């Protein structure tokens, strides 16, 4: 069985309003997908729904991963299975150093992996091994080790928060990562560094869904597939060239072609 994240006919309501209206999408490990679309199209709703945010009410459809409908699982259970979400607006957690947070998260991932291992034993990660792993990932993102001693996202700049999200991804090594506008608010250099972090994960054991408004991060990611999302559905898909067309011509030509009017700002 090819491991993939398979979204089937997904309908999601937020505060009584239907935002996703029958969305279908499959992301295989080894592939990088990008979703672009105008404001209000439901991109962030998709990301939050996939990880189980309680505000987002799934009324119909399935999200399958490893042969299981993950809509029945709690957010932490989805994460333990190998899903990861980089938040558009990362939360601040006072009193919890980033390094401690990462160590506990890695331990939790290893425990989940043990449940499917042949001997049923978790791989124990010595603290020295963890420090080595963390240092290696910090170097990819050009971050100083002192960064990890700070409380999670507390007092971080916008760019530091986004790098911290990617650092979590690199350390946790998820099988499918969802990046919710990780490039928003970043300068050109930071966008490139974040993309380098994602690209360091690329391979047959990693799949990614990058949600973005802009082509600039895609210039570095070079996604295998680009999808246009409008009014809660995927209305057009293509390769990286589609992102270039959107950058040059915007969404209006596609909306006019499909006879769709722009919707109001998405509920977040």
pTM (two decimals): 0.88
Confidence of residue 211 (pLDDT cuts 50, 70, 90): very high
Could you please report the per-residue DSSP string of 139-188? HHTT--GGGGGSBTTTT--HHHHHHHHHHHHHHH--SEEEEESTTTT--H
For 12-64, the pLDDT digits (tens) are 999 999 999 999 999 999 999 999 998 888 999 999 999 999 999 999 999 99
Q: Examine the pLDDT at 165 and tell me if it is beyond 70.
A: yes
Q: Examine the pLDDT at 77 and tell me if it is beyond 70.
A: yes
Task: Give, in order, the Cα–Cα distances in Å from 27 to each of 5, 7, 138, 176, 210.
Answer: 5, 9, 27, 8, 11
Kindly list the strands in the beta sheet with 207-211, ordered across the sheet, starting from the edge strand earlier in the chain.
83-86, 176-180, 207-211, 32-36, 225-230, 233-238
What does the alpha-carbon distance between residue 202 and residue 249 come to, in Å, rounded to a whole number? 30
For 142-161, the pLDDT digits (tens) are 999 999 999 999 999 888 99
Domains contained in the chain, CATH given: 4-195+204-258 (3.40.50.300)
Instruction: Give the pLDDT of residue 1.
Output: 46
Q: Nearest to residue 168, comparing CAs of 90, 240, 254?
A: 90
Instruction: Give the pLDDT of residue 117.
Output: 46
Confidence of residue 111 (pLDDT cuts 50, 70, 90): confident
Do the Cβ atoms of 23 and 41 come closer than 8 Å?
no
Query: How many CA within 13 A on the CB side of residue 89?
Result: 3
For 91-106, the pLDDT digits (tens) are 899 999 999 999 999 9
For 218-262, the pLDDT digits (tens) are 999 999 999 999 989 999 999 999 998 888 888 888 888 877 766
Q: Examine the pLDDT at 118 and tell me if it is beyond 60.
A: no
């Amino acid at each position: 069985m090819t491991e993939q994240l398979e979204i089937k006919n997904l309908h999601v309501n937020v505060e009584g309003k239907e935002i996703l209206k029958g969305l279908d999408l499959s992301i295989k490990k080894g592939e990088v997908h990008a979703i672009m679309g105008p404001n209000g199209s439901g991109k962030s709703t998709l990301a939050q729904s996939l990880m189980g945010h309680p505000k987002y009410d799934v009324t119909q459809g399935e999200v399958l991963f490893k042969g299981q409908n993950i809509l029945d699982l709690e957010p932490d259970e989805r994460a333990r299975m190998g899903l990861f979400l980089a938040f558009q607006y990362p939360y601040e957690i006072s009193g919890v150093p980033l390094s401690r947070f990462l160590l506990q998260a890695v331990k939790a991932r290893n425990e989940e992996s043990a449940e499917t291992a042949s001997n049923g034993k978790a791989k124990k990660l010595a603290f020295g091994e963890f420090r080595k792993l963390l240092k290696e990932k910090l170097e990819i993102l050009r971050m100083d080790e002192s960064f990890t001693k700070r409380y999670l996202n507390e007092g971080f700049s916008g760019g530091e928060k986004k790098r911290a999200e990617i650092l979590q991804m690199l350390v946790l090594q998820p099988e499918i990562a969802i990046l919710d506008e990780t490039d928003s608010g970043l300068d050109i250099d930071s966008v490139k560094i974040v993309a380098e972090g994602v690209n360091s994960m690329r391979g047959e054991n990693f799949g990614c869904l990058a949600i973005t408004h802009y082509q600039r991060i895609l210039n570095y990611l070079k996604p295998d597939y680009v999808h246009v999302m409008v009014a809660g559905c995927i209305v057009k898909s293509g390769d990286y060239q589609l992102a270039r067309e959107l950058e040059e011509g915007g969404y209006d030509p596609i909306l006019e072609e499909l006879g769709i009017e722009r919707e109001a700002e998405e509920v977040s």
